[in-house]
Amino acid sequence: MKSNPSISFIGAGHLAWHLAPALDNVGFVVTEVYSRNRAHALALTERLYQAELKATLDFSTSKSTVFIIAASDDAIEEIAQEIILPDEAILVHTSGSQPLSILQFAATPNIGVFYPLQTFTKAKKVDFGTIPIFIESNATEAQQLLTSIAKTISKKVERIGSNERKALHVAAVFASNFTNHMLSLSQHILQQNSMSFDLLKPLIVETINKAIEIGPHNSQTGPAKRGDNNIISNHIEFLNEDEKLAELYQLISASIAATHTS
């Protein structure tokens, strides 16, 4: 087997913060980090064995094979068009919502996507072993290389196309961002009434355990599921001082009712 390919990161946000050291730790050398935010790039190099800070997108003399764009979605296309790459470079992005084709005008024929499905925050350590990584590429060799890299850090690596990845990303927004916002709204309601969010924690843990165990469709409970319109009107009246919140309550309840009667 050939020696592990070296890797460069373009972008030093939440994902790169966790992914670059994870790859470094299993024996890939992360050689370079570039970010428009120099301080972020510098901080990330300090988490790595021998990575250098890159000041420009000119990677023509780089020893890396794989170039991972871990930047915000809006920046990917521009980076792909500006980056100067060595021969045989593989350029990948890490976005759930962008198609592979956003890299089509890059100066390499080998493009791909390396999408770890997780929510990343710098302050919170993550275990890549349990994080599914989704790979896409236009080239067989690149596909194989990206898959083998992903498999060194994750037990769950799958190949999916751009359309499926978009569906997955939309679903993830519901499952993670929107779920979290429901918790945030419950926290807000309790705060308005001088109660602590801690009171809800056992309920939240049980709700999620049950949804994971028997599936969320089967585990739905509550007034909207039961069609208990008295409680629903009662709650909407309670929320009425905050018109937007009352509207949200109404709409989500209607969505639950529609799901469970159709």
Site for its own copies, residues 74 to 103, rule: CB under 8 A: 74, 97
Pairing of strands 133-137, 110-116: antiparallel
The 3-class secondary structure across 114-128, one letter per residue, is: EEECCCCCCCCCCCH
Rule CB under 8 A: choose which of 8, 94, 118, 137 binds its own copies.
118
Are the C-beta atoms of 63 and 9 separated by less than 8 Å? no
Which residue lies nearer to its own copies by CB, 88 or 206? 206
Considering CB under 8 A, how many residues would be counted as binding its own copies? 94
Sign of CA dihedral 106, 107, 111, 114: negative
Site string for its own copies, 151-170 (x = CB under 8 A): -----x-x-x--xx-xxxxx
Of the candidate spans 2-10, 30-38, 78-86, 205-213, the one that interacts with its own copies by CB under 8 A turns out to be: 205-213
Residue 176 is a binding residue for its own copies (CB under 8 A): yes
Which residue lies nearer to its own copies by CB, 27 or 174? 174
Of the candidate spans 19-27, 100-108, 142-150, 230-238, the one that interacts with its own copies by CB under 8 A turns out to be: 230-238
The 3-class secondary structure across 39-94, one letter per residue, is: HHHHHHHCCCCCCEEECCCECCCCCCCEEEECCCHHHHHHHHHHCECCCCCEEEEC
Residue 36 is a binding residue for its own copies (CB under 8 A): no
